[in-house]
Amino acid sequence: MLCDASDLLVYECDGYVVEKNVPDLVLLPTTRDQVVAIVKTCNEFDVPFVPRGAGTSLSGGCLPVGGGVMIALTRMKQILEVNLRDRYAVVEPGLVNVHLTQRLKGTGYHYAPDPSSQGACTIGGNVATNSGGPHTLKYGVTVNHVLGVEVVLPDGSIVEFGGPTSQAAGYDLTGLFVGSEGTFGICTRVTVRLTRNPAAYRTLLGIFETVDAATQAISAIIGAGIIPAALEMMDQGIIEAVEAAFHFGFPLDAGAVLLIEVDGLEVAVDEEAEKIVRLCEASGAREVRRATSDKERMLLWKCRKQAFGAIGRLSPSYCTQDGVVPRTRLPEILAFIIACGTRHGIRIVNVFHAGDGNIHPILLFDERDSDQVARVLAASDEILTKCIELGGSVTGEHGIGVEKISFMDKLFTPDDLAVMESVRAVFNPTGRLSPQKMLPTAGGCGTETIERSGPGRRAAL
Ligand SMILES: Cc1cc2nc3c(=O)[nH]c(=O)nc-3n(C[C@H](O)[C@H](O)[C@H](O)COP(=O)(O)OP(=O)(O)OC[C@H]3O[C@@H](n4cnc5c(N)ncnc54)[C@H](O)[C@@H]3O)c2cc1C
């Protein structure tokens, strides 16, 4: 149990650093029964509570709005079972994503969802946010790899949805729970699907003069009927930070690079890689390099997955936005983002899962300067509104959290929201679990709005 002000400060925000509020108490259970006891006690004393994994959420999903108890699940991190014959594993929610694949090394299997934060984020957090990652393009998001969950409901009762047999009869409650952002219950055990490692990979780096040419190549590749395992873009700003951090040899004068991976049978991957090289060249690529060894491939992926960390070289704070547009509208949204940054005097760099049309503009600022914070929020708002206008959405994978609640009534009708609210009420009727997340009407204790209370603080707003 953590209750000293200096300990609690660590939990005042997640990866969405713009809004902060310290919890009154942080509890770190090690068993499901402890989670049950905490939840029951919170109910007894009418205190709000919020689950937390590694706190890498980029939408404020773990923000303890109104204070209350934070239940940090990072000490529940056991791998309980690995069953290769039936291709599943059972894990506790606090297990760090990459630790499962590391444990499977040498078996010929891996856990496919690979968010770029996979070295830190937990499988429970991935379940709650239905995380994607670079390999989502071919392998799908978390919901496609979760066979079942054990959940402590907000009243302290325990339920199980799904299980190792993927085709359970009745409603797909596992599917409903995945992506509920901690508002339906606290997940205490997850049964995940294991995926056979591909026989072969080819990893390419396409180098382009402009972002526009790179996005044309993306459309050309997908339009040709090729679904790479991953198709990621980094623009010039990110290339600069990543090169300074990892010295891969990225060309610093390139407008954008595409990291493209194809996988499958040895006989097929060369032909597919060749086609991609030709399509990139036809779209104006200056050069297309191939990773010549496993070491080089791993370094390329390290550069991509640790790109966010490298941004510390560019600015003291950053806000990663998450939107989606139809792939063909990528050039338009990227041009808009550049213009928006110029208009608001905010530097914006881009690294994203381009194959899915999932953009991640990263707005660089200093959170100590309230004017910069206001401009970052205004620019974010305009970018997300533009995503909606272009036929997309305000989140591809990071979720709504507290950050994007105000967009929900732009995306959905009052009737849609009322249906969502009634589904939430089935699981979480008192609203004590994760109040004021996801839905505009989701106050604590019925529909009342909880005031943010001390000992919280907000960033320099
Ligand atoms: C550098 C960086 C890169 C990222 N890249 C990606 C990416 O490629 N793809 C992607 O999808 N996301 C990405 N993210 C966002 C984030 O990592 C994911 O949303 C991740 O799933 C969050 O996991 P976590 O353990 O940190 O959860 P937290 O941030 O602790 O929590 C996230 C949400 O899940 C809830 N929650 C946590 N544990 C439980 C539980 N056991 N039961 C119920 N609810 C729970 C919390 O209440 C909160 O609403 C990135 C973040 C960073 C900082």
Contact 124 CB / ligand 1 (< 6 Å): yes
**Mean pLDDT of the region 354-369:** 91
Task: Please choose from 129, 301, 318 the residue to mutate so as to test ligand 1's pocket, defined by most ligand atoms within 8 A of CB.
Answer: 129
pLDDT value of position 312: 87
**200 Cβ contact partners less than 8 Å away, ≥ 6 residues apart:** 263, 264, 265, 266, 269
Alpha carbon of 133 to ligand 1 centroid (Å):
12
Residue 352 pairs with which residues in a beta bridge? Answer: 233
Alpha carbon of 305 to ligand 1 centroid (Å):
15
CA 316 – CA 302 distance, rounded (Å): 22
Residue bearing the CA closest to ligand 1, atom 13: 115
pLDDT value of position 327: 85
Give percent of the chain with pLDDT exceeding 70.
Answer: 95
- Asked if residue 452 has pLDDT above 70, the reply is no
Give the strands of the sheet with 361-365, arranged side by side.
285-290, 200-208, 256-264, 230-235, 347-352, 361-365, 317-320
Retrieve residue 339's tokens.
Answer: 């213009």
**pTM for this structure?**
0.91
For helices 211-223 and 330-344, give the axis angle rounded to 10 degrees.
Answer: 160
Retrieve residue 355's tokens.
Answer: 């194959």
Residue bearing the CA closest to ligand 1, atom 19: 57
Cα–Cα nearest to 428, from 157, 238, 133, 154: 154
Alpha carbon of 437 to ligand 1 centroid (Å):
14
Alpha carbon of 402 to ligand 1 centroid (Å):
13
CA 459 – CA 461 distance, rounded (Å): 6
Which residue is listed with tokens 């606090």?
94
At position 293, the amino acid (one-letter code) is S
pLDDT band for position 449 (50/70/90)?
very low
Task: Please choose from 35, 65, 121, 184 the residue to mutate so as to test ligand 1's pocket, defined by most ligand atoms within 8 A of CB.
Answer: 121
- Alpha helices (H) in 263-348, listed in sequence order: 266-282, 294-305, 307-310, 330-344
Contact 128 CB / ligand 1 (< 6 Å): yes
- Alpha helices (H) in 161-228, listed in sequence order: 173-177, 211-223
pLDDT value of position 366: 93
pLDDT band for position 453 (50/70/90)?
very low
Give the tens place of pLDDT for each residue, 99-115.
999 999 999 999 999 99
Contact 26 CB / ligand 1 (< 6 Å): no
Task: Please choose from 17, 131, 393 the residue to mutate so as to test ligand 1's pocket, defined by most ligand atoms within 8 A of CB.
Answer: 131
pLDDT value of position 18: 86
Residue 358 pairs with which residues in a beta bridge? Answer: 324, 353
CA 439 – CA 418 distance, rounded (Å): 9
Contact 117 CB / ligand 1 (< 6 Å): yes
Alpha carbon of 422 to ligand 1 centroid (Å):
25
**Mean pLDDT of the region 10-25:** 94
**Mean pLDDT of the region 312-328:** 90
Alpha carbon of 15 to ligand 1 centroid (Å):
9
Alpha carbon of 252 to ligand 1 centroid (Å):
31
As a dihedral over the C-alpha atoms of residue 225, residue 226, residue 227, residue 231, rounded to 10 degrees, the angle is -120
**Mean pLDDT of the region 390-402:** 93
pLDDT value of position 442: 59
Residue bearing the CA closest to ligand 1, atom 45: 182
Contact 23 CB / ligand 1 (< 6 Å): no
Contact 350 CB / ligand 1 (< 6 Å): no
Q: Which atom of ligand 1 is nearest to the CA of 56?
A: 26
Contact 308 CB / ligand 1 (< 6 Å): yes
Contact 265, 272 (CB under 8 A): no
Q: Which atom of ligand 1 is nearest to the CA of 51?
A: 47
**257 Cβ contact partners less than 8 Å away, ≥ 6 residues apart:** 205, 206, 207, 208, 214, 233, 234, 239, 250, 251
pLDDT value of position 460: 33
- Asked if residue 443 has pLDDT above 90, the reply is no
**Mean pLDDT of the region 283-301:** 92
Alpha carbon of 126 to ligand 1 centroid (Å):
5
pLDDT value of position 353: 87
Give φ, ψ of 46 to 5 degrees: 55, 50
CA 261 to chain centre: 20
Residue bearing the CA closest to ligand 1, atom 53: 56
Retrieve residue 448's tokens.
Answer: 């009342």
Give the tens place of pLDDT for each residue, 213-258.
998 999 899 999 999 999 999 999 999 999 988 888 899 999 999 9
Cα–Cα nearest to 209, from 278, 302, 280: 280
Residue bearing the CA closest to ligand 1, atom 3: 117
Alpha carbon of 59 to ligand 1 centroid (Å):
9
Task: Please choose from 52, 150, 184, 189 the residue to mutate so as to test ligand 1's pocket, defined by most ligand atoms within 8 A of CB.
Answer: 52
Q: Which atom of ligand 1 is nearest to the CA of 309?
A: 1
- Start-to-end CA distance of the chain, whole Å, equals 31
**Mean pLDDT of the region 142-150:** 97
For helices 294-305 and 236-246, give the axis angle rounded to 10 degrees.
Answer: 120
Contact 398 CB / ligand 1 (< 6 Å): yes
Alpha carbon of 162 to ligand 1 centroid (Å):
22
Give the tens place of pLDDT for each residue, 27-58.
999 999 999 999 999 999 999 999 999 999 99
Which residue is listed with tokens 């891969």?
248
pLDDT value of position 455: 33
Mean pLDDT, the chain, rounded, equals: 92
- Asked if residue 135 has pLDDT above 80, the reply is yes
Residue 225: CA atoms inside 13 Å, Cβ hemisphere, count?
0
**422 Cβ contact partners less than 8 Å away, ≥ 6 residues apart:** none
